[in-house]
Amino acid sequence: MRKFKFIDHIVFENDNYLAINKPAGVSSLHERLGKANSVIEQAKKYHEDLQLCHRLDKETSGVLLISKHAKAYSHAAVSFEKRLVSKVYHAVSDGVHSFKEVEVKLPLITTRSGRSAINSQKGKPSVTIFNTIENFDHFSLISCKPVTGRQHQIRIHLASQQASIAADEIYGGKMPYLSKFKRNFSFNKNDEERPMIARFALHAYSLEFKDMKGNPLEIIADYPKDMAVFIKQLRKFDKSKF
């Protein structure tokens, strides 16, 4: 598991909550194999009363809300349960897509393999709203707003729209290589070309809800280096110049 220093990733803190910009490759909770460097383990070292208010997939980066005491945790738990928390993710998807308030309603189940699948008979209601932020020649930067919070929901809902997330090979995404669209691309033939991003390109960009006093609270997490570099390369090499 990737190592990280908890304090360096804090992007928000007050008397009730703190939030980190979780790095990709770090689990929210302990993994079964117990290679201890999860967010919760590092959070407990920072302060023993800290509790995660929700989770992010191991390879997803971005905003992760953490409570500082029991009342704050309870308030957040109720807010999540009643869907009063607005979450926005950014994803780079394969292909060019023009989404404008596209609402995907497809019921999901978790299979024995641990993956998610669309199942109209047994699936739980799942809703995601998609908006295109920016188009490139071969990719799209998409804003994803999950109304429900099912496992792998954004990934499989995007895949259902023929817009699989770049590098998400589990749900149909392809590894993005610069050589496929950069003119006159060259690299050492003795070395294997590395993908532009090595994990699926999904980032929890923002989280918004009302705090314990009823005041709106919005927390934003900037793109981590791998996502930022990926998008920078797309803007430079995969955007037609008119």
E-state strands within the chain = 10-13, 17-22, 51-52, 61-67, 86-94, 102-105, 108-110, 116-118, 127-135, 139-146, 202-210, 216-220
The Cα 202–Cα 22 span in angstroms is 12
Cβ–Cβ < 8 Å for 152, 97: no
Residue 57 catalytic?
yes
Q: Burial code of 28-48, b = ≥16 C-beta within 10 A, e = fewer?
A: beeeeeeeebbbbebbeeeee
Specify burial of residue 73 (Cβ count, 10 A radius: 0-12, 13-18, 19+): buried
Nearby residues of 93 by Cβ (< 8 Å), 6 or more positions away: 139, 140, 142, 158, 163, 164, 165, 166, 173
The secondary structure of residue 124, as a DSSP letter, is B
Cβ neighbours around 209 below 10 Å, total: 19
Q: Burial code of 145-175, b = ≥16 C-beta within 10 A, e = fewer?
A: bbbeebbbbbbbbbbebebbbbbbebbbbbb
Instruction: Please tell me which residue in 8, 15, 49, 57 is annotated as part of the active site.
Output: 57
| Residues with catalytic roles | 57
